[in-house]
Structure 1
């Protein structure tokens, strides 16, 4: 996700933009078409776009999966604890996988999946696409939390968590691509660290 300011800052380098902040796709290449998605008919917003990269059209999915909900501790009533539930996220992932399986163009799926690489949902995505960081990154690749306000958990706290311990943000690609490099980038205004990847469209120029 991006803030209004991020859209403005990146306009010079990424002149093609779709969506309304905080959700959007920014591109150096022309956007041929785009649509808003609600995977599994859930309220979270995703995007699908077709981008013209040189003479090749490619499909881009901007992903936001349902996150964990907060529940109160039974012993400490002032404390809210994040609890992951798969019953809402899994249908979204299954919907995404089915869409990717129907695509005939090269595909890239990127965004906040709200899942670790130890989950069944990760395995479902891995069956149809490659994880750029796992293929070409180094280290743990943790992206969350960073700058997450503890007052979401503790009502009177102004502390921020700046020690990511989960990898929940991904760049996935179809068999049409190869991954040259992938890394976790420097912090932005988000409570997630951004991720980047250099992908090569096989038999084509570098993206």
Structure 2
């Protein structure tokens, strides 16, 4: 007498739907990330779509975090392994931002640097001034400043910052004496002068420190409307503006002696080639002593969610970073970036 074994139960509709979605989403997500890294490393020229993806790179990993629990819950080894595959790439790119920081040895008194793009349309002058006073920096750079804002800051901060220099769209306030200052253009593109920047020599602890307060132009993402759709199809990402600006900054850096600070809204992420050019001689304060992604710019300020990091405090080897943090928007689309720096202790 033969006994028929019961047929295996078929998964329900909801489970089949989830499996079908995972079968599509996981290969697409993992494949997209891997393709980005492969193309970026193998390409001999700059590709506009790769440069555009630099800005959203950290967010490309978010779907992996969301899909991984589902793959584990469904006990799918292949899907789980696929989702773990890009993890080493994330660790190579951003892992150091989550490592504990070792104590450093410094000499002299530390000082605080703050860079703040206040946004040219921001009229919340009191909030901006209060945000600055909350963090109480010794050196302050502002960008996209309007004449009314500058006047408000001068009235509110004059006692705290006896030394300052103001130029169109950019300003610098200091508790330390400004020995020299020069305003210059960050190159030109298509015959149009670049934005104003400042080179200041400030005396700190008896040392002359060269400070470059800069705000290179942002790269526009251009596109075309296709078939009457409401969204534009991206067709180019123009980075010539900040490329020329960084070459100007590097050229000027080569011609000065002594400690250097480069501070400001650079309008590119730490994945850009221009960032690597600066890092050949400068340290990134947030990479050195900060924790987490350090996002500073909000594409949609009303959400209060910063999406990528384009504001920097960069310093030469004479300094070490002690701590960094981000402030509140205070009506801007940027969070201020604050770094406490100390003088590196040298061994004879």
Which TM-score band (shorter chain)? 0.7 to 0.9
1:117 corresponds in structure 2 to 270
1:151 corresponds in structure 2 to none
Going from structure 1 to structure 2, the CA distance change for 1:46 and 1:112 (only over 3 Å counts) comes to same
Structure 2: how far apart are the matches of 1:72 and 1:113? 23
Runs of 4+ in 1 over 3 A off after TM superposition: 70-73, 75-84
Structure 1: how far apart are the matches of 2:154 and 2:305? 26
Of 50, 55, 59, 2:210 maps to 59
Going from structure 1 to structure 2, the CA distance change for 1:20 and 1:161 (only over 3 Å counts) comes to farther
Cα shift at 1:79? 5.8
- Corresponding residue SS for 1:91: helix
Q: Structure 1 stretches of 5 or more lacking a match?
A: 149-159
**What is the CA deviation profile of residues 33-67 of structure 1, one whole-angstrom value per residue up to 9, with x for unaligned ones?**
11111122442111010111131111111110110
Q: Structure 2 stretches of 5 or more lacking a match?
A: 1-142
1:201 corresponds in structure 2 to 343
Cα shift at 1:113? 0.3
**What is the CA deviation profile of residues 77-130 of structure 1, one whole-angstrom value per residue up to 9, with x for unaligned ones?**
766799642222112112212322332121111001000011111111111100
1:99 corresponds in structure 2 to 252
CA RMSD of aligned residues (A): 2.4
Of 327, 340, 343, 1:185 maps to 327
Going from structure 1 to structure 2, the CA distance change for 1:123 and 1:81 (only over 3 Å counts) comes to farther
Report which structure shows greater RCO (CA 8 Å, sep ≥6).
2
Structure 2: how far apart are the matches of 1:45 and 1:84? 23
Q: Pick the structure with greater CA Rg.
A: 2
Structure 2: how far apart are the matches of 1:14 and 1:189? 23
Asked if 1:74 corresponds to 2:221, the answer is: no
Asked whether the 8 Å contact 2:218–2:267 carries over to 1, the reply is yes
- Corresponding residue SS for 1:102: coil
Q: TM-score, normalised by structure 2?
A: 0.51
Asked if 1:175 corresponds to 2:326, the answer is: no
Structure 2: how far apart are the matches of 1:139 and 1:7? 34
Cα shift at 1:18? 0.5
